[in-house]
Structure formats: structure tokens, C-alpha cells
Amino acid sequence: ITAKEGYTINSVTIGSGMETTVVYVVDAGTESDEEDIKENGTLEVSGISATSVKFYCMGADKNHRLYVNYLNISYVKNE
């Protein structure tokens, strides 16, 4: 997920129908973490100030897919 020029991402919430582990990377490595998502659960990455956030599914699915039920991204306009 990349913010449009002049904007910053301050939170991302992913809802997933599957149980898996997700690694997220903020701004090409300035911050990263690994989180578990429960079946029909959510992953929230908040309190960030980023131009990009990448997500990697580390689950057991043979193609490491993340089945997303919804995605909510909060942006702030830079001043």
C-alpha cells in the first residue's frame, strides 16, 4: 500500500477469513513486525507515519495467500 504524494498512512486494518501469520514492513524496512491473525480476525497496524506499508502472508497455504475480507486505510494530508 503506497500513499499518494502529499499524504501519509497512519493506520491499516485488515480483516481475514483465515488464521495465518502476517509480516508487515513500514517504509521499506524502517519498522517491521510479525502478527498472527485468528480466523475471521483482524490485524491493525496503527500509530505509524508512513509512505508505504507492505504485507507478507507467512501462512501454511501453498501459495502463501492472504484472503482479505476487508481493508481499511487511514491517511493524513501532509501540511
pLDDT of residue 19: 86
pLDDT tens column, 29-66: 878 899 998 889 999 999 999 999 998 888 766 666 78
Q: Is the pLDDT of residue 23 over 70?
A: yes
Per-residue confidence (pLDDT) for residue 30, from 0 to 100: 78
Q: Are 52 and 72 in contact (CB under 8 A)?
A: no
pTM: 0.83
What are the two backbone dihedrals, phi and then psi, of residue 58, each rounded to the nearest 5 degrees? Answer: -110, 20
pLDDT given for residue 75 in this prediction: 95
| Residue-level pLDDT at 62 | 64
